[in-house]
Amino acid sequence: MRGGIIVTQDAERRRLSGDVLVEGGRIAAVGTTDGSADDVLDCTGCAVLPGFINLHNHVANTLLRGVADDMPLEEMLPKAASIDAKLTRRDVQIGALLGCVEMIRSGTTSFQDLFYWEDEVARAVRESGMRGFLSWVTLDESKTTQQGSPLKNADAFVAKQKGDPLVTPSVGVQGVYAASEETFRKAKEIADRHDVRMHMHLSETRGEVEGHRAATGLRPIDWLEKIGLLGPRVTAAHCVWTTMNELRSLARHDVSVAHCPVSNMKLASGGVAPVPEMLQEGVVVGLGTDSPISNNAMDVFGDMKTAALLHKAARWDARAMPAQTVLDLATIGGARSLHLEAEIGSVEVGKRADLAVVSLRGAHTTPFYPESVISHLVYSCRGGDVQATVVDGQVLMADRIVRTVDEADVVSRAQETARELFEA
């Protein structure tokens, strides 16, 4: 990569002018380089930054985009479940592949998913070249549309996928509203036995929190702490309805949080996730788009801008959630959430070469000054400004052309698959 403004996201948050040299899938030099390369990307007028890490997603639900708009979560979930019940393995694979193409186009290099038939999502990850952290969702058998036992399915999936360079399997739990204490404990046993992470929805709505408190006498986070489910392997999505004591519990147990501002706003979850307090208390926070049902898009640029504006507006404080903090959530924060900050999340020598090249030459990013690059990335740029996306040193997209899959064919197949689902 030659001639860009390198937004390193390293510990000093340095911004450099120059090149990034990639060798063997890792970053070999940053700034001034003397080496040559077989594939040279011209980054003149562009920012080179670590690829975004989408910390919470349900990528196969691209096929459900637009089918449950303008309704609350309690109405959306049953509608989504009725369609989920019709999905085949082929449907999940093409839906996931469509989502991977969308994310590649907008600079996302890694995503953490929560769904079933994650082996088909893994197939899409490998075909597209992305990096996938895939959590097979578990819940009570009486509440699932999965075939067979969700716990047994998760166990088999993790055992099969471990060791893949691009696919990292883990165990998911739908949430306290769909999983009993026994299901949570068994899910944790599977994760512990395989030494993998856990990923769950947590304290997303007031109804979830109050319903659980009525049933157990405890708020969800307090209850999970009591039964021994909180720990450094857990990523909790949303955490909108949380108290300061609960935030301190998350910090004490090293639980990471996926902040999903667009989804929470669209579903009118109410309140605002207390992310500034989370960061102040030492909770590691990343950024997630959530499902294409509840966000409609998987463009992290949109979620960055929304995250910044949401917290400023809610607190009447223009200094709340500055641009640098928000960019941190989408890059190094996501890496820290996955305990992979030594491998991804910043542009540093020795790390995996997961990179995005973002044009700063558009009308909406002009005038541009190097000092304003962080603000431009958060407040002005869009997914369509991404010129190239690289994962593990492989160029997945260059000059806005996806190289790993036939994008037109994927879009066509996804449209036909969705038509079959909704006409059935």
Q: List pLDDT tens digits, range 83-140.
A: 877 889 999 999 999 999 999 999 999 999 999 999 999 999 999 999 999 999 999 9
Domain ranges across the chain: 4-51+356-399, 52-337
Residue 333 pLDDT level (bands cut at 50, 70, 90)? very high
Q: What is the mean pLDDT of residues 49-71?
A: 95
Q: Report the chain's mean pLDDT, rounded to a whole number.
A: 95
Give the integer Cα–Cα distance in Å for 379 and 373.
10
Residue 36 pLDDT level (bands cut at 50, 70, 90)? confident
Q: List pLDDT tens digits, range 150-202.
A: 999 999 999 999 999 999 999 999 999 999 999 999 999 999 999 999 999 99
Q: What is the mean pLDDT of residues 332-339?
A: 98
Output the pTM of the full model.
0.97
The per-residue DSSP string of 75-120 comes to HHHHHHHHHHTT--HHHHHHHHHHHHHHHHHTTEEEEEEEES-HHH
Decide if pLDDT at 422 tops 90.
no
| Core vs surface per residue 306-327: b (16+ CB within 10 A) or e | bbbbbbeeeeeeeebbbbebbb
**In this predicted structure, what is the pLDDT of residue 35?**
67
**In this predicted structure, what is the pLDDT of residue 118?**
97
350-353 long-range contacts, Cβ below 8 Å, gap at least 24? 350/26, 350/27, 351/26, 351/27, 352/25, 352/26, 352/27, 352/392, 352/393, 353/20, 353/22, 353/25, 353/26, 353/27, 353/390, 353/391, 353/392, 353/393
What does DSSP say about strands 198-202 and 15-23: parallel, antiparallel, or unpaired? unpaired
**In this predicted structure, what is the pLDDT of residue 79?**
82
User: In the structure encoding, which two tokens stand for residue 30, read together?
Assistant: 């940053």
CB of 381 closer than 8 Å to CB of 301:
yes
Q: List pLDDT tens digits, range 340-395.
A: 999 999 999 999 999 999 999 999 999 998 999 999 999 999 999 999 999 999 99
DSSP alpha helices (H): ranges in 107-205?
118-128, 150-161, 181-194
Decide if pLDDT at 37 tops 80.
no
Decide if pLDDT at 7 tops 60.
yes
Q: What is the CATH number of domain 52-337?
A: 3.20.20.140
CA atoms within 13 A on the CB side of 269: 24
Q: What is the mean pLDDT of residues 45-59?
A: 98
Residue 292 Cα distances to 48, 225, 397, angstroms: 27, 31, 22
Identity at 283, one-letter amino acid code: V
Q: What is the mean pLDDT of residues 38-58?
A: 96
User: In the structure encoding, which two tokens stand for residue 19, read together?
Assistant: 């090149």
Is the CATH number of domain 4-51+356-399 2.30.40.10? Answer: yes
**In this predicted structure, what is the pLDDT of residue 296?**
96
Q: List pLDDT tens digits, range 232-252.
A: 999 999 999 999 999 999 999
Identity at 406, one-letter amino acid code: D
Give the integer Cα–Cα distance in Å for 17 and 32.
8
Q: What angle do CA 102, 106, 111 make, to 5 degrees?
A: 70
Residue with tokens 């998911």: 172
**In this predicted structure, what is the pLDDT of residue 424?**
55
**In this predicted structure, what is the pLDDT of residue 174?**
97
Residue 38 pLDDT level (bands cut at 50, 70, 90)? confident
> If DSSP codes are grouped into helix, strand and coil, which group holds residue 2?
strand
User: In the structure encoding, which two tokens stand for residue 123, read together?
Assistant: 């197939």
Identity at 187, one-letter amino acid code: A
